[in-house]
């Protein structure tokens, strides 16, 4: 029997417990104030920062994102957006660890090309092996291939983050069956990373059994980012609760005695 108390339905990442299953990025906002307000409205407790694009201390004297997102309040998740090879990626993670005083948590992404922003899964696997051996807690962006996802888990990544659709596309869950298969196979948290466009997309991902969602553009590029941040917060809770509540079976008609099958549309 599912526990109906939402209070105890928490996400655990790297030994820490979170009540929010929404992770957010910091790019594409109008200014730091809008960033701050949107993140607050989202209820996110983990915020990812693109180390190569954002000042988190590398450039003293410039505005520092950590002033807006104090590490006491938010778990900072440095990411390697913009890295296209293993060496740059690994170096970027080490830089982040220095800037954050030994903080081991990173989101690894090694991109395959500039057009699609799909991951290079071969390079991703190599970088994951190096980073895990070097003591990092690695959350890893990948495609929606169940075999690659399992391999990343076996290497020791603490969370696997398949794409729902290309980064920044807003196309929603392109291949729900793949995401579902990844979830079924996993012993670590599965978080959808990239592709969510609106609230229902987030609900779908959670209904598939994902443990959380990371998003940025869907909030930041909405006409009203702060209102959308709240919508996403509710959508993820709704999708999670619907997953836990166990949906009614789909069937062609109420009168039918069995679920829909045979026909396939």
Residues identified as active-site: 107
Residue of 86, 139, 158, 222 interacting with a second copy (CB under 8 A): 222
In the region spanning residues 236 to 265, those forming contacts with a second copy, defined by CB under 8 A, are 237-242, 244-255, 259-265
Handedness of CA 214, 189, 151, 196 (dihedral sign): negative
Q: Is 115 exposed, middle or buried (0-12, 13-18, 19+ CB in 10 A)?
A: exposed
Q: Per DSSP, what are the bridge partners of residue 23?
A: 46, 214
Binding mask 119-138 for a second copy (x = CB under 8 A): xxxx--x-------------
Binding mask 85-114 for a second copy (x = CB under 8 A): ---------------------------xxx
Residue with tokens 């209904």: 207
Q: How far is CA 151 from CA 101, 155, 159, 185, 213, in A?
A: 30, 6, 12, 11, 21
Name the segment binding a second copy (CB under 8 A); options: 60-68, 87-95, 101-109, 213-221: 213-221
Q: Which of 161, 167, 170 is nearest to 228 (CA)?
A: 170
Tokens matching residue 114: 């500039």
Count of residues touching a second copy (by CB under 8 A): 85
Q: Which CB sits closer to a second copy, 31 or 250?
A: 250
Contact call for residue 64 and a second copy (CB under 8 A): no
Q: How far is the CB of 64 from a second copy (least distance, A)?
A: 26
43 is in an annotated binding site: no
In the region spanning residues 161 to 200, those forming contacts with a second copy, defined by CB under 8 A, are 165-172, 174-178, 180-181, 197-200
Q: How far is 189 from 115, CA to CA, in rounded Å?
A: 28
Tokens matching residue 68: 């807006």
Q: Which CB sits closer to a second copy, 15 or 262?
A: 262
H-only helix segments in 165-262: 176-185, 199-207, 217-220, 225-245
In the region spanning residues 136 to 165, those forming contacts with a second copy, defined by CB under 8 A, are 143, 145-148, 150-151, 165
Across the chain, the runs of DSSP E, i.e. the strands, are 11-13, 16-18, 22-24, 46-50, 75-79, 105-108, 137-142, 159-162, 191-193, 212-215
Contact between 106 and 77 (Cβ < 8 Å): yes
Residue of 60, 115, 187, 257 interacting with a second copy (CB under 8 A): 115
Binding mask 10-39 for a second copy (x = CB under 8 A): ------------------------------
168 is in an annotated binding site: yes
Binding mask 65-84 for a second copy (x = CB under 8 A): --------------------
Q: How far is the CB of 194 from a second copy (least distance, A)?
A: 9
Annotated binding-site residues read 168, 194-195, 216-217
Annotated binding-site residues for 1-deoxy-D-xylulose 5-phosphate read 168, 194-195, 216-217
């Amino acid at each position: 029997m599912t526990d109906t108390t939402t209070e105890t339905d928490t996400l655990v990442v790297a030994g820490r417990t979170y009540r929010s299953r929404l992770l957010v990025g910091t790019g594409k906002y109008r200014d730091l104030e809008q960033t701050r307000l949107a993140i607050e409205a989202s209820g996110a407790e983990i915020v990812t920062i693109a180390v190569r694009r954002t000042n988190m201390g590398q450039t003293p004297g410039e505005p520092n994102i950590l002033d807006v997102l104090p590490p006491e309040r938010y778990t900072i998740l440095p990411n390697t957006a913009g890295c296209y090879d293993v060496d740059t990626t690994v170096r970027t993670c080490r830089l982040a660890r220095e800037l954050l005083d030994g903080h081991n948590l990173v989101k690894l992404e090694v991109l395959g090309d500039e057009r699609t922003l799909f991951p290079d899964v071969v390079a991703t696997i190599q970088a994951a092996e190096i980073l895990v051996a070097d003591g990092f807690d690695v959350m890893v962006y990948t495609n929606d291939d169940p075999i690659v996802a399992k391999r990343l888990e076996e290497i020791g990544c603490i969370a696997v983050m398949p794409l729902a659709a290309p980064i920044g596309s807003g196309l929603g869950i392109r291949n729900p069956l793949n995401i579902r298969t990844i979830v079924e196979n996993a012993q670590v948290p599965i978080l959808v990373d990239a592709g969510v466009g609106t609230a229902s997309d987030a609900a779908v991902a959670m209904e598939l059994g994902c443990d959380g969602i990371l998003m940025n553009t869907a909030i930041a590029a909405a006409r009203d980012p702060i209102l959308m941040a709240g919508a996403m917060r509710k959508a993820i809770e709704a999708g999670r609760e619907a997953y836990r509540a166990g949906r009614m079976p789909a069937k062609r008609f109420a009168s039918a005695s069995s679920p829909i099958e045979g026909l396939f549309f």
